[in-house]
């Protein structure tokens, strides 16, 4: 489906786990590397061990990217210190705050993929269209992606400083007030007005949303503030593109601090956690990332009420005649994602050769979901066809 094509493309393009597996590393080597890089930021080593492959490979890469930009790396450490200080000051309030902001955090993930759907290559754009796209990116990054993390961070700062605060006290604030309070109370004000422009995040957002920018002699002039205190900033094309990247790095630093702290304390936070709904494409991203963690790349995904079909390609160097049965484990997860009447997985070898067709019905999956059948029963009841020989493959129950 077109809706999911960019998610599939993005997982292929940016998922470091797929690239590491393709390079010849096995999962144990990847896991050791992730643990080594993230260990300084985890108190709960069992959690780090548990989620190293399932969740934390992208975060270890984000950390590496921040480490290459020392300024942002130091700001990430400051943000993480804020969360840890809040936990030390009032553990229960800290964890409750993490839970309260999580619905907005998850919505920002959904918005990330909405932003991705609209993203276009800027290299060959005329300067007017280039300006429009950069401003759209800036507005989306700050308002759609970063704002929930700014609110959550401010709440943690308040807890660390011993100030009793409820979610509504912060959620009702304008972005400008949130940013000003972060500047005053965080101890790292420059993160919220990054150099060399020293324009606050809320003013960048205002420039983007109100389109207060013009082009003069191939220069881009942005203005912000209120009369009589209007300020201007002159940027070249490359400088505006750098501003977009800088604002994204602010988001990356703040988000990484929140993510690592949240996962590190997941067991305790879950005691306060309600069920949260996640938008379809965010759920699909999690599903695609889970496949990638097992060394499978999504080639094609289609779904409707009657049928859901997933085509996966192996990126490992393992024996495809063994790996093809490993792919069958995703049938039930595919039904959970789609709730289609029939769910199908086509397994392809590393060279894209179709190898195995696997399918089952919603009736069987529903019985497993209701615990009327055991998960192992699916292996006995699914249908398989060898796509090389076009012959039916016996299931576990019939393979005698």
Whether 307 maps to a domain, the answer reads yes
For residue 16, the model assigns a pLDDT of 54
pLDDT digits (tens, 9 = 90+) for 327-349: 888 888 888 888 899 999 999 99
Strands (E), the chain: 213-216, 219-224, 231-235, 296-303, 307-314, 342-348, 354-361, 383-386, 391-392
- Residue 117: the pLDDT is 46
3-state secondary structure of 233: strand
Q: Give the pLDDT band (50/70/90) at residue 279.
A: very low
Same domain, 8 and 145: yes
Question: Do residues 207 and 330 both lie within one domain?
Answer: no
Does a structural domain hold residue 109?
Answer: yes
Q: How far is CA 11 from CA 3, 283, 314, 318, 319, in A?
A: 14, 13, 14, 21, 24
pLDDT (average), residues 189-217: 96
Query: What is the per-residue pLDDT for 302?
Result: 87
Residue 279 forms part of a structural domain: no
280 within some domain: no
Considering the domain boundaries, does residue 134 fall inside one? yes
The pLDDT of residue 120 is 67
Strand order in the sheet with 296-303: 296-303, 307-314, 342-348, 354-361, 383-386, 391-392
What pLDDT is recorded for position 127?
Answer: 94
Give the mean pLDDT of 210-224. 95
Residues 261 and 305 in one domain: no
Q: What is the pLDDT of residue 298?
A: 83
pLDDT class for 283, splitting at 50, 70, 90? low
Give the tens place of pLDDT for each residue, 30-76. 788 889 999 999 999 999 998 887 678 778 888 988 999 999 999 99
CA Rg, the chain, in Å?
24
- Between CA 102 and CA 109, with CA 105 as vertex, the angle to 5 degrees is 135
pLDDT at site 5: 55
Q: How confident is the model at residue 153 (pLDDT cuts 50, 70, 90)?
A: very high
Higher pLDDT among residues 223 and 7, named by residue: 223
169 shares its domain with 199: yes
Residue 202 within any structural domain of the chain: yes
Q: What is the pLDDT of residue 115?
A: 61
Tell me, yes or no, whether 20 and 106 share the same domain: yes
Are 261 and 356 members of one domain? no
Q: Is the pLDDT of residue 274 over 70?
A: no
Q: Which of 105-119, 140-154, 157-171, 173-187 has the lowest mean pLDDT?
A: 105-119
* C-alpha–C-alpha distance, residues 327 and 350, integer Å: 13
Residues 308 and 178 both lie in one domain: no
Which whole number is the average pLDDT over 119-125? 77
Q: Please state the rounded mean pLDDT for residues 4-11.
A: 49
Who has greater pLDDT, 225 or 123?
Answer: 225
Is residue 301 domain-shared with residue 381, that is, in the same domain? yes
Please check the confidence at residue 109 and state whether its pLDDT lies above 90: no
Looking at every residue in the chain, the average pLDDT score rounds to 86
Q: Are residues 82 and 166 part of one domain? A: yes
Return the pLDDT at 278.
42
**Tell me, what's the pLDDT at 107?**
74
pLDDT tier for residue 275 given thresholds of 50, 70 and 90: very low
Question: What pLDDT sits at residue 60?
Answer: 86
Q: Does residue 188 sit in the same domain as residue 242?
A: yes
Same domain, 114 and 178: yes
Domain that holds residue 311: 294-392
181 and 330 in a single domain? The answer is no
**Would residue 376 count as lying in a domain?**
yes
Answer whether 0.85 is exceeded by the pTM.
no
- The per-residue pLDDT for 317 is 79
pLDDT tens for residues 163-177?
Answer: 999 999 999 999 999
Looking at residue 22, its pLDDT comes to 58
Angle at 208 between CA 205 and CA 213, to 5 degrees: 130
Tens digits of per-residue pLDDT, 218-263? Answer: 999 999 998 889 999 999 999 999 999 999 999 999 999 999 999 9
Mean pLDDT of 84-89: 98
Is 101 a domain residue?
yes
Compute the average pLDDT of residues 360-377: 87
The total number of structural domains that make up the chain: 2
């Amino acid at each position: 489906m077109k809706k999911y094509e960019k998610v599939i493309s993005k997982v292929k393009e940016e998922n470091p786990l797929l690239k590491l597996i393709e390079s010849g590393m096995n999962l144990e080597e990847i896991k050791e590397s992730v643990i080594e890089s993230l260990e300084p930021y985890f108190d709960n080593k069992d959690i780090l061990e548990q989620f190293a492959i399932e969740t934390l490979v992208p975060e270890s890469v984000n950390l590496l990217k921040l480490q290459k930009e020392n300024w942002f790396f130091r700001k990430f450490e400051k943000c993480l210190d804020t969360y840890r200080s809040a936990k030390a000051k009032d553990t229960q309030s800290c964890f409750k705050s993490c839970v309260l902001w999580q619905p907005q955090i998850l919505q920002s993930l959904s918005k990330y993929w909405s932003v991705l759907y609209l993203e276009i290559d800027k290299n060959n754009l005329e300067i007017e269209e280039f300006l429009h796209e950069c401003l759209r990116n800036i507005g989306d990054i700050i308002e759609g992606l970063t704002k929930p993390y700014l609110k959550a961070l401010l709440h943690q700062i308040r807890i660390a400083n011993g100030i009793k605060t409820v979610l509504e006290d912060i959620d009702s604030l304008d972005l400008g007030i949130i940013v000003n309070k972060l500047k005053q109370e965080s101890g790292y004000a420059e993160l919220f007005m990054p150099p060399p422009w020293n324009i606050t995040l809320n003013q960048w957002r205002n420039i983007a949303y109100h389109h207060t920018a013009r082009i003069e002699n191939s220069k881009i002039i942005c203005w912000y503030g209120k009369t009589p205190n209007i300020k201007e900033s002159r940027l070249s094309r490359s400088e505006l593109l750098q501003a977009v990247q800088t604002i994204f790095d602010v988001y990356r630093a703040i988000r990484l601090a929140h993510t690592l702290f949240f996962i590190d304390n997941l067991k305790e936070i879950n005691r306060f956690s309600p069920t949260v709904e996640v938008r379809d494409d965010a759920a699909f991203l999690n599903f695609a990332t889970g496949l990638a963690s097992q060394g499978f790349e999504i080639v094609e995904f289609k779904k409707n009420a009657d049928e859901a079909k997933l085509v996966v390609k192996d990126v490992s160097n393992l024996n495809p005649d063994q790996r093809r049965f490993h792919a069958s484990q995703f049938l039930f997860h595919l039904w959970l994602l789609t709730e289609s009447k029939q769910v199908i997985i086509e397994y392809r070898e590393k060279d894209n050769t179709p190898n195995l067709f696997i399918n089952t019905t919603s009736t069987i999956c529903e019985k497993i979901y209701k615990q009327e059948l055991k998960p192992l029963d699916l292996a006995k009841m699914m249908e398989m066809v060898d796509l090389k020989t076009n012959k039916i493959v016996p299931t576990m129950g019939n393979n005698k």
